[in-house]
């Protein structure tokens, strides 16, 4: 079983580059440019790790991490 990583960045080029790198290392990658969508994706994707950009419109990376940690099933 390979680990799943959820990538969050508002820059599509960064997402594409990171996806290539991580997939070559054997990870399954799910990506989104919408930081607001992450909270809805967590239950369906069940990632082992979330990698997020810090500076994004809407929820920034720090706010996103705080929201994830407030969820008992993802803390």
Spatial neighbors of 9 by CB under 8 A, at least 6 apart, are 15, 18, 31, 33, 52, 53, 56
What is the model's pLDDT at position 74?
77
Over the stretch 5-29, which tens digit does the pLDDT of each residue have? 999 999 999 999 999 999 999 999 9
Residue 65: pLDDT band with limits 50, 70, 90: very high
Instruction: Of 13-22, 32-41, 58-67, give the range with the top mean pLDDT.
Output: 13-22
Residue 1 has a pLDDT of 64
- The predicted model scores a pTM of 0.89
């Amino acid at each position: 079983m390979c680990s799943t990583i959820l990538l969050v960045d508002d820059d599509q080029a960064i997402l594409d580059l990171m996806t290539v790198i991580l997939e070559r290392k054997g990870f399954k990658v799910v990506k989104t440019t919408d930081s607001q969508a992450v909270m809805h994706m967590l239950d369906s994707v069940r990632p082992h790790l979330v990698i997020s950009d810090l500076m994004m419109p809407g929820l920034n990376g720090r706010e996103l991490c705080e929201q994830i940690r407030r969820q008992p099933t993802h803390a």
